[in-house]
Amino acid sequence: MNSNKVSILKMVRAPFLSSIISPLLAGTLIAISIKFSVNIWGFLFVIIMGIGLHVATNVYNDIYDTIQGTDKINVHRNEFSGGSGVLLDHPELMPKMYFLARTGLIVALIATVALMFFIDRSLWPYLWGLYLLSAFFSKYYTAAPIKLGYRGLGEISVWFAFGPMAILVAAVSQNVGLHPTIITAMPITGISTLSILLLGQLIDLKADRDTGKLGVAARLGTRATSDIYLMVQIILMLNVIVLSIILKDNGWIILISLIPYILLLPKIWKIVNANHDNPEVLPQAAGFNVQLHLLFSILLSLGLGIHLIVRS
């Protein structure tokens, strides 16, 4: 394919942007239910901020995994793990990829500045702390000299970025800080995104080990990683149940988000449990897991939205 025909959507891995949209929606809806008011401009700018940062993250990951050789030697790369492959097929697009990553950071920066005018001044330290930490993660998850993903800190940073950080910045956009309900909700969406990373590590294990990328799978092996995958999914379900109790006033409505877990998790676990060391079969489980992540994300936001409407 001619490089001019490679879409920007592919370069920024657009389908995975749901991983940031979900916690921003969830955090916003919970914050609205706490304050009983809506900051429309706050929501708009935090969405722009989040998407800009996630675009930068996706593109930087592709750039530095390509430079450091991880993507090149990964023979098991697929649509669910191992990057977009854009730079492997079109290395001439490297300058454009850098431009996209830096543009994402600049767009997010502009949205952060704009957001300052629509939130309480007391929340500005949260806002800027979260932007700066997110910008740091976006590049140095894979970039030298930090290379978080190569030092065994990738799982923590992914969970933190797509869970606590995203939920909190969404709450801040609605003039809510570290409220107990926000704190309770913080881990959920990060765990959902982390589950995608864990299955991706099982598939990419050989390439990760050969290039020194020390994820959980490379350090503990496939059996332990598959067990951790199941454990974090169970923790997610328990976290949703606890949140439903804390929300009160028909909080049980958000339990509809667990329906995909009833339908898909047993199927995923059956594949992973039997084939945790078989990267030829695992992409099937990874595909089901992405479906689980998407369905859960949609139903969580829907449940929180219904809960908000019922309360009002």
pLDDT band at 241 (very low <50, low <70, confident <90, very high): very high
CB atoms near residue 83 (< 10 Å): 21
1 within some domain: no
264 within some domain: yes
Conformation bin of residue 278: beta by default, left when phi > 0, alpha when psi is -120 to 50: beta
pLDDT per residue over 170-209, tens digit each? 999 999 999 999 999 999 999 999 999 999 999 988 887 8
Helix axis angle for 40-67 and 166-173, nearest 10°, is 150
203 within some domain: yes
What is the model's pLDDT at position 129?
Answer: 96
Spatial separation of the C-alpha atoms in residues 156 and 158, rounded to whole Å: 6
What is the model's pLDDT at position 254?
Answer: 95
What is the model's pLDDT at position 18?
Answer: 83
pLDDT band at 80 (very low <50, low <70, confident <90, very high): low
For residue 181, which of 165, 194, 169, 168 has the smallest C-alpha distance?
168
265 within some domain: yes
What is the model's pLDDT at position 312?
Answer: 67
Could you give the 3-state DSSP secondary structure of residue 85?
coil
Buried b / exposed e along 30-65 (16+ C-beta atoms within 10 A): bbbbbeeeebeebbebbbbbbbbbbbbbbbbbbbbb
Spatial separation of the C-alpha atoms in residues 48 and 112, rounded to whole Å: 9
pLDDT band at 151 (very low <50, low <70, confident <90, very high): confident
Could you give the 3-state DSSP secondary structure of residue 101?
helix
- Please give the distance of CA 232 from its chain centroid, rounded to a whole number: 15
For residue 77, which of 171, 165, 204 has the smallest C-alpha distance?
204
- Tokens for 83, please give them: 């990057």
**Following CA atoms 157, 159, 163, 164 in sequence, which dihedral angle do they give, to the nearest 10 degrees?**
-50
Computed over every residue of the chain, the mean pLDDT equals: 89
Does residue 126 have a pLDDT over 70?
Answer: yes
2 within some domain: no
CA angle 191, 69, 65 (to 5 degrees): 35
pLDDT band at 253 (very low <50, low <70, confident <90, very high): very high
- Tokens for 200, please give them: 């991706």
Q: Say how many domains are in the chain.
A: 1
Contact 170, 27 (CB under 8 A): yes
32 within some domain: yes
What is the model's pLDDT at position 26?
Answer: 95
3 within some domain: no
Domain, as residue range, for 265 = 9-311
Does residue 225 have a pLDDT over 90?
Answer: yes
50 within some domain: yes
Region 10-16: mean pLDDT is 79
Does residue 57 have a pLDDT over 70?
Answer: yes
pLDDT band at 93 (very low <50, low <70, confident <90, very high): confident
Does residue 272 have a pLDDT over 80?
Answer: yes
Region 71-87: mean pLDDT is 62
What is the model's pLDDT at position 295?
Answer: 96
Does residue 237 have a pLDDT over 60?
Answer: yes
